[in-house]
Structure 1
Amino acid sequence: MKINEITAQAVGKWDYIFQSLGIEVGNGKHCPCPVCGGKDRFRFDNQNGRGTYICNQCGSGDGLELIKNYYQCDAKEASNKVAECLNLSNQNNQIRANLAFRKIDSEPLHNDNIPDNPVCKKVEYLLSKATLGQSQYLTKKGLTFDLPLLDNGRIFVPMLNLHNEYAGGQFIELDGSKHLMRGSNKKSAFILVCSVLSRPTEVYANLLAHNEIIICEGLTTGISITEFRHPSMVISAIDAGNLIHVAKSIRELNSTAKIIIAGDNDIDQSPNTGLAKAIEAAQAVNGYYSIPDIDYKCDWDDYRQQFGSDNALTHFNKNLIKPELPTVTKLNMQTELSSMNLSQMASSQRAELLNQYYDNNLAINLTTDEIYHYQDNAWQPISDKLLMRTLADLFTQSGEPFNPLRISSAVESLRLSLPIMGTPQKDLICFKNGVYELKSQTFRPHNKQDWLLVSNDIDYYPAKENESFDTHAPNFAKWLKRASGNQDKAKNILAALYMILANRHDWQLFLEVTGAGGSGKSVFAEIATMLSGKNNTVIGTMDALEKARDRALIVGYSLVILPDQPRYMSSGAGLKAITGGDEVAIDPKHKQPYSCKIPAVVLVINNEAMRFNERNGGISRRRVIFHFGEVIPEKERDLNLVSKIEQELPLIVRLLLNEFTSPAEAKERLHQ
């Protein structure tokens, strides 16, 4: 492809491109320049989605210019890198046969069961038989757009969902007639309107990164919109009834994007279906809608053909409306209950009602068979008893009798119908006011599709200039100085606290703090608890780690503290398995046993180091010991030290993240 064609495809996607190339551009605020390194000289303003930037030292340019300067290469090489990020390479004719769900080392699948899905296999097969080309059906409408074409010239476009899999496909014949591939699951599925075929994982990443997403009904309408609304990511919901389902799915994935519903004007119908469904979808996601304001049936492709792309853009923007949001509260549900007949509902209908009560924020963990509720910015287990009591309350509010069998059957139906929980995103720290991404060192809003299980109680704010522990966190600095005794050990202690803050259980280490009473061990444990979050911390024993029944008590926590362990003489097999990232047996009371990994940091607090009779080096490789040798005299102890440090906690967090901009540095220190 030509350079200008590649840059045209890159419009609106530069956030994703820079992230893929490892170029740090900040979040629209001043930050260090990725080229010259000048502090606070650089700002990524991304005007018109072209990746534009300004640096007081280097000057300004667009996204391609930044890549040229960053890699010190010419425009051709820079455009090739962009093409690789967008999967534009080697796609001029034959679609790659391995496009669908072939595992590669650098891109693990999110769902290992995908290859066994017959719908996915069929879509993959059809794509392998297709070539990218222009359809006569579209060229007659004045649209030149590459799409997968089968041998007979008909279009085949894959439908995707947000589980990183194909949900089916749509055929468009030469005469424009459309039908879905047999076995397609249309609800919440969509078609990406793009002339470059992308893997579902890449589409997922693009949806997560885009600032403006337009959802339309048909594919042809979407192609027309891409003609005049270049920076936006456009997807087709296939029909009007699916607009709301697709919009909700996108909003769950990307909580900050501007979502626009590009509806059809079905003025010949009463009611106007296209308008009604567009408004409904926009209200559901706090978004916008736009339909052609004209006195006959018309979609945006019809409008473009009649008035041209420039006029279509002007009209689209002029008719962009944000509808008023309906007030949806528990009180509304109580009012509606009076008109419902819960006793006559099927158990699946009662299950759906229960899910609506929880704002559709429920999901199922297939490993534990537990239902989780997204609240307080994290997914938390919710007991069957609480769900049953909630449904019983709904029966009572409706004035109807109930029996336990109907209640329990609804909860079981709920378990079968809920979405499956995904794998928690790595390299994220969930704060009270948002999520910090360790790789990009950026802060963004919460997103329940991160599938995070824990959230601390700290508000995060960017560090200010010249902040330091000594000046701005004097109580923490005083404790650190007395506990460490020297600067190198102090840095190692900070690395341990960073490990707890970032929940780096994947480092396959455990922390052990020893020392006499009054040496600062308990303060370390208190600080660790603050960083992890009190609700995410559990107290245990070494013996508990060895037993499947007792291990059930530590599932779901990010920090396990083992305080004041009695003299321990064993192999530490349970500790070794947990910290090594192995699956361990869990045997909860009154539930089916299962096995899982426990993603928690283990912290041992003892007067003296534990002894193990394991001789294979498994414990010694994982063990990080800190000995606090100085006992603080009684008269010098500050009984309010912990509460004072708690007041300094937001600043301590900022300084820890600044101290270890590279997590590998903290890990290396703990391995010393």
Structure 2
Amino acid sequence: MQREPIWERARGRWHGILAAVGVPAKALRNRHGPCPMCGGKDRFRFDDKAGSGSWICSQCGAGNGVQFVQHFLRTDFRGAALEIEKHMDAAPVQATRQGQRADDGKTREAMASLWQRAKPISLDDAAGRYLQRRLKLETFPGTLRQVPDERYADAGQRATWHPAMIARVDPSDDARAAGERAALHRTYLTAAGHKADLPSPRKMMGAMPTGAAVRLMPHGDVLGIAEGIETAFSASQLFGVPVWAALTADLLQAWEPPASVSTVMIFGDHDASFTGQAAAFGLGRRLKAKGLTVAIEIPVRAGTDWNDFLIHRWERAA
């Protein structure tokens, strides 16, 4: 049987896919506003007709969800297709327009319920064991919590239940002032504190807010940003600065620091594909243009991040 084209398989999932690649939540509301591709003011609208991811911009033209990803990431069809495939299973199918408001309300209720039942992390639970093993942490921030039994389900598959670390993903200060809300990020684990053997052991819940990050520690005028939570903690230990986690390379590039920050340290991954490096330097270039002092740190070894570097240092010292 011939496989459906990617734009058909992604139908109805574009809100989640586009949010996962870094498109700001405010650009996905079917209202005229700034274009996330060309930056023009009040010339763009994402109408997602029939779940196709359709959009229109008076400067960029119009297109479907695949073309949106191509323009936004400045990549070709193959590059866009690879990104879409990466995020498709984790992206929920959107409700019809008539049911969208109710569906959004249900998602917010589910997120509030999950965050409320999640408990602080300790060394006696799966999340604590996971972070202790990877980072030797013994105290944990309030933006990370844990549950012993979070539901996991991929499309068409039977649901299973696993321990999970729950991270609160906060919008930038400006986005919060404009009414955007936090999302949640789930890392599925085993009871022993290892990453669960699942197709997608990390999943988002809710639309990704604009300029978002997991705020792992307090900061002064110097703040670091990394991709993963473990990478952020590792960079903080290695470089002695507070570091937040943007979760993905795309979201790192779209991150917005608080107004009180004057110096940003960007801790990029050393990807063989150059994805992590490109995101780090893209963010650095944008923040430098805004007048911030920027430093970028990339591990020397290809295919590693700062958590890999930290663990390797421990192993050599043992």
The TM-score bracket by the shorter chain reads 0.3 to 0.5
Relative to the length of structure 2, the TM-score reads 0.39
TM-score w.r.t. length of structure 1: 0.21
Structure whose residues are more often helix by fraction: 1
Relative contact order: is structure 1 or structure 2 higher (C-alpha 8 Å, sep ≥ 6)?
A: 2
* Structure ID, larger Rg: 1
